[in-house]
Structure 1
Amino acid sequence: MSLNTEQLFDRQLVTQLSQSQNEPTWVLENRLQALEAASQLPLPKLEKTRIDNWNFTDIHPVNTETAVASTDQLPEGIRQFVSSDEETNLLVQKNSSSVYTRLSESLANQGVIFTDLVTALIQHPELVQSHFMTDGIRPDEHKLAALHAALWSGGAFLYIPKNVEVETPFQVLFWVEGENIGTFPHLLVVADSHSKAHVIANFVSDDETKAVVNGMVEVFAGDGSNLTLASLHTHGKGTTDVAYRRTVVGKDAQLEWIVGDLNQGRTVSDNTTHMKGSGGNAQIKSITVGAHEERANITSTVRHWGTHTESDITARGVMKDKAQTILNGITKIEKGARKANGVQAEKVLMLNREARGDANPILLIEENDVQAGHAASVGRIDPIQMFYLMSRGLSKREAERLIIFGFVGPVLDTIPFASLKERISSVIERKLD
């Protein structure tokens, strides 16, 4: 489907957006180039999912909001996603605007930068410019990437200096609310060599919101760094969520990605990790639960470039009602990535006859001296298991619940953040009800 984005989002709108944020000249130039490219590039081609009839552009792309002085001023339904602890580092964005930021003084004194992306562009231009939409995701990948590059707003930037280790998680909340809203949040994380950090990003909207969220996350894990990142998406049924995540992993770096795609509307989720340095290790864990008539295409990709790199993709999907999900796992070992080891396992459990799930494991090997393996399964609840549990006095719903949580347990049980684990469990409970 060809969309004339030049008519939907013109140069004047993009220029006004850039100038209103006092952005450097190079940012505006990049925005305008991306806008032009968006009118020519095709939509991304997704495995077994057609998105050419999805709405990505009939929206209001700039929706500014007023800042708040404390988290107490946030609505009660939103406060559950953030911590009120003054020691917690937190950034909240509503629609197009960052409305609240908190960074502990001790971390600021160590050189940690945690602020909205616009402020980072002005105060730390070289650091941002060298990473923003370069080795992660590029504006010329496809139409959705180009639209994001032209219209991104707000966003968050985190920089962890060399040898700095932070145990308290950084929390980012991207909150959408309103009618025909378009948001383009961008999270950029740069971890310098031998640093350590934990990042939790929540993407939220309610069922009354009608929106398109075209979001990007770029992560750069420097040599010897240790990063744990969690991305939880709980948008309402009126929201179309596009989430592209790109990570570049350096030498001997340790990366753990936890992705919860628990939306109630339409979802495009793409998580790609580039193992650039030798000796790097990446653990990718994904959970999705679909209900009603939800549609989702979820892809986890690891590309091995460096030698002696290791990766493990574990994905679990549960489908009920008429929900449909395509679960893709791709491990690619490039030529020259000797001694690489990539494994993956995707499993889908369907609770109803009309539910649909598809698990697609893909191995692409261009080097001989490597190890690789995959596993995939799609099926329904074993009636023998149900009979056994119900014969022990459990109701059908209780038995079904036990089987489902046992099924997602290999991912859920490894989540290192207790609050996030509880939140994902509660969302799964609500969707199953």
Structure 2
Amino acid sequence: MTTQIILPIDQSEVQALSKSKNEPEWLSSLRLEALTLAGQLDYPKLEKTNLNRWSIDSYGKYKSSDSIKSLADLPQKFQTSLQDQKDNLLVQRNSNVVFQTLSDELTKQGVIFTDLETAAKEHSELVQKYFMQAVKKDENQLTAIHTSLWSGGVFLYVPKNVQVEIPLQVLFLNEDDTSIFSPHVLIVAESNSSVSYVDHVTSEGVANDLVHNSIVEVFVKPGAKVQFSTLHNLNGKITDLSYRRAVVENDGSIEWIIGEMNDGNCMSDTSSILKGNGSTSDAKIVCIGTNDQKLNITTNATHFGKSSDSDMITRAVMNDNSTAIINGVTKIEHGAKNANGEQTEKVLMLSPTARGDANPMLLIDEDEVTAGHAASVGQVDKNQIYYLMSRGISKETAERLIIYGFLAPVVSQIPIKQVADQLQALIEGKLER
């Protein structure tokens, strides 16, 4: 027996959205198929987290924002986050992309860096080949809803043998809690190419509940290298639901750098499918919880390829009455000989009422492999605080030094200085509230 679920959107809204964008038939049909599925599917089943208790029904309506001529039309603090980069930028404001630029050099090399809506029309066959293929529309109700109402987004395509030296940057900004804010990022790196992508997901002046339901899909072809960095600092009224997934072929590599600095509830699922022989995945994740915030952070690596390698490092700092469920899953499939999977999850609790749970999992179906995990949950060591205070350091400063030291294994390894600096600033800002 199938239970009909009442959805926060209806068919007429989805049809109007697709028509307003003049989308190709395959995409219009996909939206409606996904909406039907959404009415039949349940929320994802998360470790020790019940999404039914979260406020995740407020998606808003599609609203078009006017294009801007330059970054000077944005509030100053958002201009700063883009680090004065003049080219290779894209800005989404609420429901749609309002600014984008790509250097002539990259354009001549065949790089495509544009909003996904435009790409679906101008590069229809290419987008259709990959869109909702790493993350499937029928995985759960959240992925189905996203497929039906996503807007704006990014399409990044790097041709074979092209090396993109400068990071491509994206700002996803929400300033309207009645506007859909569900971008989709699609990245395709062809054989032996390389690219670094950086985005910042943020909000300003949101006073009512809103859901940010986003999906990232990355396809790494043989020998290609993709570095994906994202910093999320949405305010307390926005619930952040994010799926990120990479499919990595022979000798390809994906590097995830993720800062979960939101003030509201957050579900984050970052996965690497190591499909090819010699494929690699490296994930570095930092999150901080405050007030009554609830976090469910999952990192996955699934090994199919021989001699594939994965490494995950997650650090969570929890304060006040916040709670965190930190999951690490390494799955080595039968036939993935000589695969190696390592993971570390650590939670530091600053308050006696904060809660943290680290759940490392190794699922091994092959004998000739190496794998390991480490996990810990604990409070700030009082002996360390006393030692620092005995050296003339105040208690508050001592605690901050210990926290920064706890996060250093992730922050210090971030290879892009601007991302490391921005993450450090967000960490300091959240801890000082």
Instruction: Tell me the TM-score normalised to structure 2 length.
Output: 0.97
Q: Secondary structure at the match of 1:9?
A: coil
Match of 2:100 in 1: 101
CA distance in 2, matches of 1:180, 1:22: 23
Query: Where in structure 2 are there 5+ consecutive unaligned residues?
Result: none
How far 1:2 sits from its partner (Å)? 6.8
CA distance in 1, matches of 2:419, 2:370: 33
CA distance in 2, matches of 1:270, 1:77: 28
How far 1:199 sits from its partner (Å)? 0.4
Match of 2:360 in 1: 361
CA contact (8 A) 1:113 1:157 kept: yes
How far 1:129 sits from its partner (Å)? 0.7
Matched ranges for 1:328-343 at <5 A:
328-343=327-342
**Larger CA deviation: 423-432 vs 101-110:** 423-432
Match of 2:181 in 1: 183
How far 1:401 sits from its partner (Å)? 0.8
CA contact (8 A) 1:64 1:96 kept: yes
CA contact (8 A) 2:196 2:228 kept: yes
CA distance in 2, matches of 1:308, 1:59: 43
Q: What is the RMSD computed on CA atoms of the aligned residues?
A: 1.2
What CA deviation, in whole Å up to 9, does each residue of 1:340-393 have, x standing for no partner? 100100000001100111110000111111111100000011111000001101
CA distance in 2, matches of 1:47, 1:180: 31
Counterpart pick for 1:165 among 163, 166, 179? 163
Give runs of ≥4 in structure 1 deviating > 6 Å. none
Q: Which amino acid aligns with 1:114?
A: F
Q: Secondary structure at the match of 2:306?
A: coil
CA distance in 2, matches of 1:215, 1:209: 20
Matched, 1:152 2:150: yes
Q: Secondary structure at the match of 2:62?
A: coil
Match of 1:205 in 2: 203
Q: Secondary structure at the match of 1:190?
A: strand
What CA deviation, in whole Å up to 9, does each residue of 1:92-120 have, x standing for no partner? 00111100001001100000000000111
Instruction: Tell me the TM-score normalised to structure 1 length.
Output: 0.97
CA contact (8 A) 1:71 1:84 kept: no
Match of 1:388 in 2: 387
Inter-CA distance 208–14: structure 2 relative to 1 (3 Å threshold): closer
Q: Which amino acid aligns with 2:277?
A: S
Match of 1:141 in 2: 139
CA distance in 2, matches of 1:228, 1:51: 30
Q: Secondary structure at the match of 2:52?
A: coil
CA distance in 1, matches of 2:313, 2:59: 35
Query: Where in structure 1 are there 5+ consecutive unaligned residues?
Result: none
CA contact (8 A) 1:209 1:239 kept: no
Match of 1:411 in 2: 410
Matched ranges for 1:310-321 at <5 A:
310-321=309-320
Match of 1:247 in 2: 246
Matched ranges for 1:374-385 at <5 A:
374-385=373-384
Q: Which amino acid aligns with 2:306?
A: T
Number of residues of Structure 1 aligned to a counterpart in Structure 2: 429
Match of 2:19 in 1: 19
Q: Secondary structure at the match of 2:125?
A: helix
Match of 2:190 in 1: 192
How far 1:62 sits from its partner (Å)? 1.1
Match of 1:50 in 2: 50
CA contact (8 A) 2:246 2:254 kept: no
Q: Which amino acid aligns with 2:6?
A: N
Q: Secondary structure at the match of 1:402?
A: helix
What CA deviation, in whole Å up to 9, does each residue of 1:217-242 have, x standing for no partner? 00011100111110111001111001
Match of 1:349 in 2: 348
Inter-CA distance 241–309: structure 2 relative to 1 (3 Å threshold): same
Q: Secondary structure at the match of 1:80?
A: helix
How far 1:182 sits from its partner (Å)? 3.2
CA contact (8 A) 1:207 1:237 kept: no
How far 1:209 sits from its partner (Å)? 4.3
CA distance in 1, matches of 2:344, 2:378: 14
How far 1:207 sits from its partner (Å)? 5.6
CA contact (8 A) 2:278 2:309 kept: yes
Identity across matched positions, percent: 45
How far 1:59 sits from its partner (Å)? 3.3
Match of 2:62 in 1: 62
Counterpart pick for 2:172 among 130, 153, 174? 174
Q: Secondary structure at the match of 1:47?
A: coil
CA contact (8 A) 2:388 2:398 kept: yes
